[in-house]
Structure 1
Amino acid sequence: MSLIVEKLRIRGPEGVLVQGASFALAPGEPLVLLGETGSGKSLLAQAVMGTLPPGLRAEGRILLDGRDLLPLPPRERRALWGRRIAMLPQEPWAALDPTMRAEAQVAEVDRLVHRHGAAEARRRAAARLAHLGLQGAGRRYPFQLSGGMNQRVALAATEAAGAALLIADEPTKGLDAALRDTAGALLRAEAEAGRMLLVITHDVALARLLGGQAMVMLSGAVVEAGALPGLLEAPQHDYTRRLVAAEPSRWQDWPRRPPGRAIVEGNGLHKRLGGRELFGGLDMSIGEGEVVAVAGPSGCGKTTLGNLLLGLARPDRGQVRRGAWVAPLGLQKLYQDPVAAFTPHQTLGQGIAELRRRHGLAEDRAAGLLPRLRLQPALLGRRPSEVSGGELQRFGLLRALLLDPALLFADEATSRLDPLTQQEVMALLRECVEERGTALLLVTHETALAEKAAGRVLRLGT
């Protein structure tokens, strides 16, 4: 078994997006693609899979066991999916059926691909979910699970395929450190079992865990390649050095200031979900210019608490009060799964223009934020499915900031961003706190980020 990519170039309406990438992949040794969002990592994987967005085309050669995939018609490419090539996509919403329970979706792979009986397929699915810390989640639908839990369900289904080539696109986004290590160990075991493993990630810690070979990409080009962990311990390219240095554990602490007027207060909050109590008797308030982080493992109720404070859900008991001075649109949310927050058939530019018209916003406000969020104007002509998850998350932040919120609930706002972009986005949020007095409620699984940015850290599920 082998995958050989030779001088792969990907073109789009705006020019060359991936510039002549070449690599060879063999069983037993992972290949990790590292780089910032929009660097071309996911496009390279999509070219291998045969799922490039409309308007993009690949040139060069992609040889799977000596057979060039690029000239094959779409029907023959699709026949390889799940049997020869399996892909864990960047967004779990793109991989899961919203009308099927989690266990059934994993069991379906064993039934249809491996022809196991229904009872055996269910047994295998339950074991895979339990291995990823999802005991009891098999009976729930995707909308009843957190983003990190959905990511693990998608990982279990992809792993069940047992394809010779496994492509994992950002497999640990939204996972806490313990679950990231579990997912990384599972992926590494797939390689050790004799599969070819291609992992796209901005998670430097995951790259260290996986080992094998790595390629660092920037602006569609491979700028550095080598064996792990050596490449990260002694990087040669300036970009790789900056990528490693931008991990949250290396940041300076944000300044702490006393909060202003209370924007939102919750008293005696109780909430149960899926038959278990997430929290009970919880008191919490957030004031102007305050940064509060809610930390804890996936599924512990972090997002639920934020939704209660914003009025997007109701507590079982207790009260939530908003300051009388807060404008109707003064509470805004940056969603954990940006795909679910955008209209799929509308271009990003159309969505921004509609928001401006609806709320009477000046045209130049969005234009001024684009470069600060490292978003190219050409992306405005694309639909949500035609940009990376990190780029879409930054558009979500752009949309929220245009409304000048008193409180921004950032739900895992940086889990889809590489360390450099994460650092820059957090710096922009810090400016909003310092210049506008915006309050920031951070939901995060990353302990270092919470401790560096927040004046208060509320820990759930501990």
Structure 2
Amino acid sequence: MTPLMEVRNLCVETTQPPIHTLLHPVSFTLHAGRPLTLLGETGSGKSLLAQAVMGTLPPGLRARGDVMVEGRNFLALPARARAKWWGRHFALLPQEPWHALDPTMRIGAQIEEGHRLVAGRSRSAAQHATDQSLMRLGLADCRRHLPQALSGGMAQRAAFAAARTTEAPIVIADEPTKGLDSTRRDEVVTLLREALNERSSLLAITHDIDVARQLGGDIMVVRDGICLEQGEARTVLDAPRSEYAKRLIAADPRHWPAPASPAPASAQPVIEGRTLRMKRGNRVLFSNLSLTLSPGEIVGLTGPSGCGKSTLGDILLGIITPDEGHVHRARGHAPLRFQKLYQDPPAAFAPHWTLHTLLEDLCARHRLDRARIPLLMTRLGLHTRLLQRQPGQLSGGELQRFSILRALLLEPVFLFADEPTSRLDPITQQDTLALLTDVAREHDCAVLLVSHDPALITASCDRQVVLSG
């Protein structure tokens, strides 16, 4: 059977001397009906590989090698010609749903546009297909919503629906289940598998071992831009050969040790929400909800996508006002010490400045100790060369760790961590949460930690709050 895509000795390197290789030569073949999943740590080169295949590398980087599709080397085509293949031959589900959705268009209109203009369906057929997609993904009430009105998980599902309108034969899914609860995650995996047939294939990027196992097919393990091993999914996951793959699989939150004893309750809570009630449209997210956090306490917050987890955190921070109830914050602390780690780190950084400039400006503005930056970078596993890059030149996981570093520089007394490790591989996730927990204990910082992973919450938190949705 002729492969849908054959990649030969594909590598990615910088364009300016000294030339630095970010992705070493890798080869693989995509066959119809069989997925290939890339596993690896944050910043290992997985997303760079996908960008190289698509011909969408950022400025300053170039791809070498061959990407053969329908007998033609896609990378050898002029940029204008390559663009015509997007949507028709390649469909991309990007790691950040906000990069795939037009902030000025309503969700239903965006999906319908793809059905009409690219897939060539009539207006009535496009409307029907859009309604079916939204209903199946649990977004039936969101047709007229703008993207910014959706939670991260809801936006991810909307981006999935938009990307699949054209039924392109080669689907590249970069962390397609990031930010989804286990039920929605399994639904998206099912949709991806159902899209596989005699004329389509899937290149998936994930750090979720369960997703890789459910997708099946083949797996490639990548670290530091090098393919460490490649083979049938069950073989790689059940009997990995490389030491790194063994560590990656063993770092699943279900294998983490039990958390330390809960921090003792304080007579003076850091923050307290009393009889809170909030609606979204005609739907009540939560009501009569009370929550208290003490210094050094780690509280987990779980629940299905769209149930109001981010909304609750924003209420506690004073970003939005509840419909009923009120929030009491301990006196004597500047508002700056009540901080948030955003679910979408690219939206939290000015895009046109380097990380060095952004952190220097933060330290200058708030008279912070610059000497803590290299110490925190070491603890977070961040290389100093990343400071010279702009936010858009970092992986989602690297940028999320810089978000954590920036928040810790401000010595918060309360930290609302909204899915702070959703973009991290299991090893980095475990190390990062350990650091976050240690710092919170050391500095009496109360943390409200949001995650869709019950095992992660159980292994990291003193107690947990569950929103039913």
Question: Matches of residues 3-18 of structure 1 in structure 2 within 5 Å?
Answer: 3-12=5-14, 15-18=20-23
Q: CA deviation at 1:381?
A: 1.6
Q: Are residues 1:36 and 2:59 paired?
A: no
Mean CA deviation greater in 385-394 or 213-222 = 385-394
Secondary structure of the residue that 2:126 maps to in structure 1? helix
Secondary structure of the residue that 1:375 maps to in structure 2? coil
Q: Are residues 1:402 and 2:406 paired?
A: no
Q: CA deviation at 1:140?
A: 0.9
Q: CA deviation at 1:27?
A: 0.8
1:361 aligns with: 368
Q: CA deviation at 1:149?
A: 0.3
Distance 1:302 1:328 in 2: 21
Mean CA deviation greater in 284-293 or 369-378 = 369-378
Contact 1:93 1:339 in 2 (8 A): no
Question: Matches of residues 80-91 of structure 1 in structure 2 within 5 Å?
Answer: 80-91=85-96
Distance 1:410 1:392 in 2: 14
Q: Which runs of 5+ in 2 are unaligned?
A: none
Q: CA deviation at 1:336?
A: 0.2
Q: Give the counterpart of 1:239 among 231, 236, 244.
A: 244
How many residues end up aligned between the 2 structures? Answer: 462
Deviations 1:62-110 (A, max 9, x none): 1112211222211011110001111111100100001111111111110
Question: Matches of residues 56-455 of structure 1 in structure 2 within 5 Å?
Answer: 56-192=61-197, 194-255=199-260, 256-260=262-266, 261-455=268-462
Distance 1:384 1:107 in 2: 32
Contact 1:9 1:59 in 2 (8 A): yes
Q: CA deviation at 1:193?
A: 5.3
Q: CA deviation at 1:369?
A: 1.0
Secondary structure of the residue that 1:103 maps to in structure 2? helix
Q: CA deviation at 1:198?
A: 0.4
Deviations 1:149-175 (A, max 9, x none): 000000111111211111000000000
Distance 1:189 1:104 in 2: 24
Distance 1:259 1:54 in 2: 52
Secondary structure of the residue that 1:332 maps to in structure 2? strand
Distance 1:89 1:263 in 2: 38
Distance 2:369 2:331 in 1: 26
Amino acid at match of 2:430: Q
Distance 1:201 1:61 in 2: 24
Q: CA deviation at 1:231?
A: 1.0
Distance 2:40 2:194 in 1: 24
Q: CA deviation at 1:224?
A: 0.9
Contact 1:259 1:289 in 2 (8 A): no
Secondary structure of the residue that 1:192 maps to in structure 2? coil
Distance 2:52 2:89 in 1: 15
Distance 2:142 2:408 in 1: 35
Contact 1:18 1:44 in 2 (8 A): yes
Amino acid at match of 1:258: P
Distance 1:118 1:158 in 2: 18
Secondary structure of the residue that 2:115 maps to in structure 1? helix
Secondary structure of the residue that 1:329 maps to in structure 2? helix
Q: Which runs of 5+ in 1 are unaligned?
A: none
Amino acid at match of 1:94: H
Deviations 1:321-349 (A, max 9, x none): 11002232111100001111111112222
Contact 1:263 1:326 in 2 (8 A): no
Distance 1:424 1:69 in 2: 39
Amino acid at match of 2:264: P
Distance 2:171 2:212 in 1: 16
Distance 2:257 2:440 in 1: 16
Contact 2:119 2:165 in 1 (8 A): no
Amino acid at match of 1:345: H
RMSD of the TM alignment (CA)?
A: 1.1
TM value normalised by structure 1: 0.98
Contact 2:315 2:322 in 1 (8 A): yes
Deviations 1:290-329 (A, max 9, x none): 0111100000000000000011110011110110022321
Distance 1:381 1:79 in 2: 34
Distance 1:436 1:114 in 2: 55
Runs of 4+ in structure 1 off by over 6 angstroms are none
